Homo-oligomer: A and B are copies of this chain.
Amino acid sequence: MADPPPLLLALDLTGTFAFGLNGALTAVRATHLDVVGVVTLGMMTALGGGVIRDVLIGAIPPATFVDWRYFSLALAGGLIAFLLSRRLDRLEMPITVLDAIGLSVFAVIGAAKAVDYGLGFGPAVLLGVVTAVGGGTIRDTMIGQVPTVLRSELYAIPALVAAVATVAAIYLDVYSLPVALAAAAACFVIRMVGVRFQLNAPRPPGHRFDR
């Protein structure tokens, strides 16, 4: 696959590093892990979503296994999180911001790649969301937690918005770098608003959750 435009590539690489860092930190906080566990979960968070997408569209071997930059940044994020986990705890907000950048760019690039490989509207949107949230979901499942994406704060919804906007723009033949950045920006803003005001997506009607 040819590189995306430099700006999108830079954001994509930033997101990969942020996911590796954030994924490993989540793992350190949640359970007792050694260096292998922490770095593995960081790399899974950073690369997992893209790997699932690539397997499902037939882009084998997955892009992140071929392009050493993604692989190295994910590994670096995990290692740094392992070494500095105590200090990074104080940097929650910058890491959340980096994580939201990753979420946004992954959703846009993932959806666009799925269309490239011939998938229809619905599946391409789904794979955009999977690219964005798949890695974190694998991590949460492996450490025995119900995946965050399934239960709290606006996490999948902004990714869904970005993926729909991306696929719609491609179908309308108006997809371009500014459009991709606008879709990612919309995702980023919704996500940060959700974090700031602790918003959640609607719950099933009539069920009371007391905790």
Contacts and interface: CB of A to CB of B under 8 A. Distances in A.
Interface string A146-174: 11011110011100100000000000000
Contact of A28 (B40, B83, B207, B211): B207
A189 interface: no
A124 to B, nearest CB: 9
B146 A142 contact: yes
Contacts of A33: 146, 150-151, 203-204
Nearest to A201: B34
Contacts of A86: 204-207
A85 B83 CA distance: 42
A38 interface: yes
Given A56-B65, A65-B119, A204-B38, A31 B142 contact: no
A17 interface: no
A200 interface: yes
Contacts of A203: 32-35
A120 B118 CA distance: 27
A85 B117 contact: no
Copy tally for this chain in the complex stands at: 3
A85 B65 CA distance: 40
Contacts of A178: none
A209 interface: yes
Interface of A: 27-28, 31-38, 40-41, 51, 55-58, 60-62, 65-66, 68, 71-72, 75, 82-83, 85-86, 117-120, 122-123, 126, 137, 141-147, 149-152, 155-157, 160, 200-207, 209, 211
Given A56-B61, A66-B119, 13 more contacts: A31-B146, A31-B151, A37-B150, A40-B156, A58-B60, A58-B61, A61-B119, A68-B120, A71-B122, A71-B123, A86-B207, A142-B146, A144-B145
